[in-house]
Structure 1
Amino acid sequence: MPPRRVPPTDELDLHRRALQRDPVILSDLFEFFAHQITRFLRDDLGCGEDAADNAIFDTLLAYLEQPDRYDPKKGRLITYLTRAAKYQAWDRRRSEMSTARREREFGRVVELWRRTPKEEMEDFVEAMRALEQIVKRGHLNDERDVAFLGLILRGERSTERLAEVLGLGSLPLEQMRRAVKRHRDRLMKLLERLGKEDPDEPT
C-alpha cells in the first residue's frame, strides 16, 4: 500500500519544489492556495467560483513557467500569487466585456443594414442608373472601370472575378488582391468627388 500523501504546509517549501520542477507541484499549489486566493477574489472583485478557479489556474501555470520571478525577500508567496490572480481575473473580465460590447455593436450594425429583397433591388436599380449617368457625362471612360463597378454593384466579391475584368487575372493572388483594392479605392474616391462636385444634378 503506497504511503499516504502529506498535504503541503510551507510556502517556501512549495517554492523550492516549483524551482526544482516537481511534477506534482501544481495540485499541491492549488490545494494550498486556492481557498485563500478565492476569498480575496470574491471579496475584492466579486468573482464567482468558476471565474476564481480560472484565474487561479492561469496564475499558477504562469508562476510555474517562471518560478524564479518570485523573490521571497520581497514578500510572501500568497501575496505574490493573489496579486497575479486579481490581475488575471480583471483582465479576463475586461476581455469578456469588450467581446460582449463588440457583439452588441455588430448586432446593431447588422440590424441597421438589413434590407428586404425589394429594398435591395430598388437600391441596385438606383445605383445602376447613377452609374449610367456618370458614364454618359463622360466622367468614366474606361470600359474596364465600368465593368468593375457594375460587378461591385451586383454584389460580386470574388477577387478573381473582379481582377478578370481589369485584365489582372494572371497575377499571383496576393498581388491580385492589392491591385483590386487599389482600383476599388480609386473608383470610390472618384465617385465621392463627383458627388461633391454635382450633388444636386438629377440621376
Structure 2
Amino acid sequence: MEIKITQILPPKGFPWEGLLALAPHLLWVSVAIGLVAVIGPARIRYAFSQAKKLSFGGFELQLKSELEQAAASKNIAMDNFNLGTLERRLDRLRELFVTAHILWIDDNPAGNLSEMRILRSFGATIEIARSDESARTSLQRSIFDLVLSDMSRDGNPRAGALFLPEVKNSLFSPPIIFYVGNRSCSPDGAFGMTTRPDELLHLILDALERKVK
C-alpha cells in the first residue's frame, strides 16, 4: 500500500501573524505620538533639559563627596567657593580626561582612592606603580600624558625627586606632579607639587591643557 504525505498550506490572505508581532511596537509609537500631541514638543524638551540638570546635579554631589573624603583623609579643610570653582572648571574641560593616560607612582595607593575615582569618573585611564622598578617598567612599555608621584617611598624621603630624571627621559617626557603629605620645595623639573586634592586636580588640568596647545 502506497502512503502519500501532502503538505497542507494555509490559505492565502492577509498576514495577520506578522501584524500581531508588530503590535507592541505600534502601541509604543502610538503612545509617543499621543504624548507629543497632548503635552506638546516644547514641554517635552523642557522635561529632558530638567532631567539633564538633575543628572549633572547628582554628579556634582558625587564629586563634592569624593573631594571632601580626599581632603578629610589628609586633614585638609575645603570651602564651598573653591569647590564651586573646581567643579565649573572640571565640567568645562572634562574632554581632556577622556584620552588621558596617567601613571600614578605611590607605594600606598589606597590613600588616593577618592582622587582616583574622580579622575576615572571623567574618563581618565590610571596605571598604578607601587615602586620605582614598577614605574620604570611602565614608562618603558607605555606612553603617558602625565605622571603623579609621592615623594617618600620605600623608606627614602626623596625617592620621588630621585626618580624624576627617569620620568623626564622617558617617552615624550611627560610632566610630573608630586602629591605629597607635607609640602616642601618642588624639585627642579617637576610640573608642580601639592598636598591638596583640589589643587591636584587644578594642576592636572593645567598639565593636560598645556599638552593639547
* TM-score of the aligned structures, taking structure 2 as reference length: 0.26
Larger radius of gyration: 1
Structure with a larger share of its residues in strand: 2
Q: Which has the higher contact order (CA 8 A, sep 6+)?
A: 2
Structure with a larger share of its residues in helix: 1
* TM-score of the aligned structures, taking structure 1 as reference length: 0.27
